[in-house]
Amino acid sequence: MCPICKNEKNVIKRGFYRRPSDQKKVQRYHCKICKISFSEQTFALDYRQQKRWFNQSCFVTLCSGVSQRRAAYIFRVVPRTIARRVKKFGEICEQNLCKYRDQRAKVNEVEFDELESFIHTKLKPVTIPIAVEKKTRKVLALSIGNIGAKGHLKKISLQKYGRRPSERMLALKSMAKDLQTCTAPKARLRSDKCPLYPKLVRDYFSEATHYTCKGSRGAVVGLGELKKTIFDPIFTLNHTYAMFRDNLKTLSRRTWATAKRKDGLLLLLNIYAWFHNLWLDRKRIKIKLEVFTV
């Protein structure tokens, strides 16, 4: 398929080249309309990479509670290499999630809520709305936005970093918009009793039924969101949150490895979300990051 006109008809084969890094023979193609040449590598995960041998293990490692710097140490590469992989993987995983939403059967039961974390310091908190399918625990949509600090940190945050405009509604809307594509019209949505949610549901899912239940803040110690003794109506969601926190180093509580930028954290979130969905497919031995095609 041509990368510009996205057409297959006018593409012809045009020789090979030997890749210097591992001597692999790569097929070249040519599009007769756009007059451009490309190869099978153009769409590959390891396009223009030198160290392609550690891509898969890097993907799994980053989703196993290992920081980027430690991953660099494990694979004996410089941290910049890992940072580049995170960018590449993050983009691929985001596209994969998007395609997955488009091609999967419509979901009937969804749970959504917001996970709170921070960028660089607790004075700069962010909210991470995540929607999961109740039955399979698969992540359907996620987003991220800045929010203001709460409690005693509010004053210090204002002094140090000025007013931070709240992007909470923006993030929620972006999540809802993505979620819309894969939800059945008469779906059942579950969340806690946050006052912002009913309007969100009315705007984006007009025919859906919205159930709210009493939510509680996750504990800082122990398993956070999971540490409860009473019956939890949005267990699926809190279980997923606990998995996010456990497997993404930057989200774990009381961590040293803090996220440095919002876009960087979003990349990691997408990587983990995709890994999580693959993990739930029960083909764990074969977990492999690929460009997802339908």
- Output 34 or 170, the one with its CB closest to Zn ion: 34
Q: How far is the CB of 37 from Zn ion (least distance, A)?
A: 10
Which residues are 192's β-sheet partners?
Answer: 213
Q: What is the dihedral of CA 238, 272, 167, 134, to 10 degrees?
A: -40
- Output 5 or 44, the one with its CB closest to Zn ion: 5
Alpha-carbon gap, residue 132 to 141, rounded angstroms: 7
Judged on CB neighbours under 10 Å (0-12, 13-18, 19+), 52 is middle
Phi, psi for residue 165 in degrees, rounded to 5: -60, 135
Q: How far is the CB of 100 from Zn ion (least distance, A)?
A: 27
Alpha-carbon gap, residue 152 to 150, rounded angstroms: 7
- Output 6 or 214, the one with its CB closest to Zn ion: 6
Contact indicator for 253, 245 with CB cutoff of 8 Å: yes
What residues make contact with Zn ion under the rule CB under 5 A?
2, 4-5, 31, 33-34
C-alpha torsion sign, points 9, 10, 11, 14:
positive
- Output 4 or 291, the one with its CB closest to Zn ion: 4
Q: How far is the CB of 34 from Zn ion (least distance, A)?
A: 3
- Output 36 or 60, the one with its CB closest to Zn ion: 36
- Output 1 or 78, the one with its CB closest to Zn ion: 1
- Output 42 or 212, the one with its CB closest to Zn ion: 42
The beta strand positions in 119-252, using DSSP E, are 125-133, 139-142, 145-146, 183-192, 209-213
Q: How far is the CB of 70 from Zn ion (least distance, A)?
A: 43
| Pairing of the two strands 11-18 and 25-31 | antiparallel
Query: Among 145, 140, 188, 190, which Cα is nearest to 170's?
Result: 145
CA 155 from centroid of its chain's CA atoms? 32
The beta strand positions in 214-284, using DSSP E, are none
Q: How far is the CB of 33 from Zn ion (least distance, A)?
A: 5
Alpha-carbon gap, residue 279 to 273, rounded angstroms: 10
Q: How far is the CB of 240 from Zn ion (least distance, A)?
A: 41
Q: How far is the CB of 124 from Zn ion (least distance, A)?
A: 45
Residue number, nearest CB to Zn ion: 2
